[in-house]
Amino acid sequence: MSFATTDDHQEIYFQAHGTGKTTLVFVSGYFGVANIWQPLITRLNSKYRCIAYDSRGYGRSSKPLFADAYSVPRHAADLHAVLEACNVRDRIILITHSMGGNIAAEYYLTHPDNINGIIYTTTYFDGINIGKQLTLEALTSGVDSPSQCVAFYTNIGLDEATALEAAKWPAHARRHNAKALLAFQMGERYSQIRVPGLVIQGEKDPATPVEECARPIAQAMPSCRLEVLKGVVHFPPTEAPVEMERLIEEFLRGLF
């Protein structure tokens, strides 16, 4: 049982698997638990140290009641607390999903010396950008109904067994995290991310379409490329773990 304590006295549950000189840190998004990363961790932990955690408001982590306890910078600070608890200092690759991409970008801009590369999956430029097509109402509709919470994720490509985790989360946490997601703004700051990046986007993703959401990141970062996975919706880590493993290994070979 492993928990990191944050600077605002919340507890973040994390799991560490495997060994190796390179550490892969998996950063979840609006589906904020470590479960989506298990297919990848199973494939990668024989070669790398793999760390995954439940974001605040979700899973086994603290679920503060008040809205001001939730923001993308707050999530980035939680990520730092996890890395500190794991005593990780270098050769770190952030592998992100959806909102986790913004969390990773914010973390890099605060701690640029800690990170060697960022892999984004089904992400978007920022909350202001995604808010043009994904509204607060769309994100929070049905949060009081466990079945509708599950349906929200299965409708965008997640398997039902994993999506059922959403039935356990409190409605206030999903509402606060939705507002945090939509409030975050990157502006011109992607140009300041000087480590290599890779954006992996699902061809059939209705939530974060390639051209509107993914390509602008690849174009804004100084060293970043875009890969589009055919037939994949919004959850490449669970929908296409074999292809994800290949792309991660290829990316890492270019770094070290």
| Tens-digit pLDDT profile for residues 159-213 | 999 999 999 999 999 999 999 999 999 999 999 999 999 999 999 999 999 999 9
Between CA 55 and CA 11 the distance in angstroms is: 10
pLDDT-derived band at 102, boundaries 50, 70, 90: very high
Between CA 60 and CA 164 the distance in angstroms is: 15
Task: Indicate the burial class of 151 (C-beta count within 10 angstroms; 0-12, 13-18, 19 or more).
Answer: middle
Report how far apart, in Å, the C-alpha atoms of 10 and of each of 33, 35, 64, 96, 169 are: 16, 21, 8, 22, 16
- Asked if residue 200 lies in contact with residue 244, where contact means CB atoms within 8 angstroms, the answer is yes
For the chain, give every domain's residue range. Answer: 3-253
Encoded tokens for 159: 């398997």
| Tens-digit pLDDT profile for residues 217-239 | 999 999 999 999 999 999 999 99
| Tens-digit pLDDT profile for residues 54-95 | 999 999 999 999 999 999 999 999 999 999 999 998 899 999
Report how far apart, in Å, the C-alpha atoms of 66 and of each of 167, 173, 174, 175, 176 are: 20, 9, 12, 11, 8
Task: Give me the CATH topology for the region 3-253.
Answer: Rossmann fold (3.40.50)
